[in-house]
Amino acid sequence: KAGVTQTPRYLIKTRGQQVTLSCSPISGHRSVSWYQQTPGQGLQFLFEYFSETQRNKGNFPGRFSGRQFSNSRSEMNVSTLELGDSALYLCASSGGQDRNEKLFFGSGTQLSVL
């Protein structure tokens, strides 16, 4: 069974640009969550989608958005990039119906904003 796949692995952008990150969950999983990891702020929750609906949202500005498709694949978009958006973005998937479920994480997308 394939794991959670995130693309691309690395991304370099400049301030003001926008970026789209992709996450393909494990087959059969309906929940996809996104997390931002930085040395200063640690791991912070961005949002969670379940069956194409955003079910939970973290405290991030509106520049951060996401969506989920009917095949459960998810994308997150960051517009008007700032230097502080440089981070490792992790995606995780699960069945989404029991909070004791195991979350399966991808290897992340390392975003550098210059």
Partner 1 sequence: AQTVTQSQPEMSVQEAETVTLSCTYDTSESDYYLFWYKQPPSRQMILVIRQEAYKQQNATENRFSVNFQKAAKSFSLKISDSQLGDAAMYFCACYFGPRSNDYKLSFGAGTTVTVRA
Sites of contact with partner 1 (CB under 8 A): 31, 33, 35, 42-45, 48, 50, 55-56, 58, 88, 90, 92, 94, 96, 99-100, 102-103, 105-108
User: At CA 74, angle to CA 72 and CA 75, rounded to 5?
Assistant: 165
Q: Least Å distance between CB 102 and partner 1?
A: 5
Nearest to 23 by CA among 8, 12, 37, 38: 8
Q: Cβ closer to partner 1: 45 or 65?
A: 45
Cα end-to-end distance, the chain, whole Å: 37
Q: Least Å distance between CB 75 and partner 1?
A: 18
3-state secondary structure of 85: helix
Q: Least Å distance between CB 48 and partner 1?
A: 5
